[in-house]
Amino acid sequence: TATLNFLSDITQRKQAEEKIIRSETLLRETGEMAKIGGWEFDVETMEQVWTEETYRIHEVGFDYKPNVENGIDFYAPEAKPVMRQAVQRAIDHGEPFDLELPFITAKGTRLWVHAIGKAIQKDGKTIKVSGTFQDITERKKTEEALRKSEEHLKEAQRVGHLGSWDLNVVTGDLQWSDECYRIYGFRPQEFVPTYEKFRSIVHPEDLGFVQEQVDAALNNDKHYDVDFRFVRPNGEIGWIH
């Protein structure tokens, strides 16, 4: 009895499958490190599919069955209408959204999340909406700390009549803090500082001395430390250190 056998070289197919597996593993690990999850929902059923990281950010088990409405319920009360409207506009008009909103997990943890969504359409009608979902709480905390630090610096400068400035010696552009404007008698929205404008503010009798100090700082790497007179827009003469 003869047996007919066939052999097929599936090396390329196996290599392609291996690449897909490696790619999916890399994508999952990258998402975990960056706290980025993915999601998608079907417009007809409104049932969602989440990636593992999305479950983790929500602090729910993998047996949780997400849909659009209970997904929106995780957002803080003031953010729910914003997200609900964004989702509805994606469905009705195919509009994408890119939002940073406060969020409360299933365990009550308050977060900030970055939600990006886009509509998938067929024949001009949205059939699915998909996107990414990222925990950006640490970034928001850093931004808030920086904002408070800047506010404290401004207040300290105001109380101590201490301004700060930064000069680009190549372009001559000059940056002043708010207190610098107040000291010199200008309003930020009415005056753009440059080094040449600064020179025009310095009292004429002190300009040569001030310029010598600036040149020494630029050419000899010396500290700029000088007292001089200046003239405010109303003609009043003041002293500055």
CA angle 35, 40, 43 (to 5 degrees): 155
DSSP label of 75: B
pLDDT at 187: 86
**Rounded CA gap, 208 and 214, in Å?**
10
pTM for the full predicted model? 0.57
Instruction: Identify the band that residue 33 occupies on the pLDDT scale cut at 50, 70 and 90.
Output: low
Q: How many CB atoms lie within 10 A of CB 217?
A: 16
**Rounded CA gap, 135 and 36, in Å?**
7
pLDDT at 21: 47
Instruction: Identify the band that residue 18 occupies on the pLDDT scale cut at 50, 70 and 90.
Output: low
**Rounded CA gap, 52 and 42, in Å?**
19
Between 155 and 103, the more confident residue is: 103
**Rounded CA gap, 57 and 135, in Å?**
7
State phi, psi for 219 to the nearest 5 degrees.
Answer: -90, -30
Q: Mean pLDDT of all residues in the chain?
A: 86
**Rounded CA gap, 229 and 207, in Å?**
9
Which amino acid is residue 19, in one-letter code? K
pLDDT at 23: 46
81 pLDDT above the threshold of 70: yes
By the 8 A CB rule, do 87 and 80 touch? no
**Rounded CA gap, 203 and 27, in Å?**
63
pLDDT at 25: 47
**Rounded CA gap, 231 and 211, in Å?**
16
Q: How many CB atoms lie within 10 A of CB 32?
A: 14
CA angle 206, 209, 215 (to 5 degrees): 135
Tokens of 168: 């680009």
pLDDT at 26: 43
Cross-strand bridge partners of residue 114 = 100, 134
**Rounded CA gap, 197 and 98, in Å?**
42
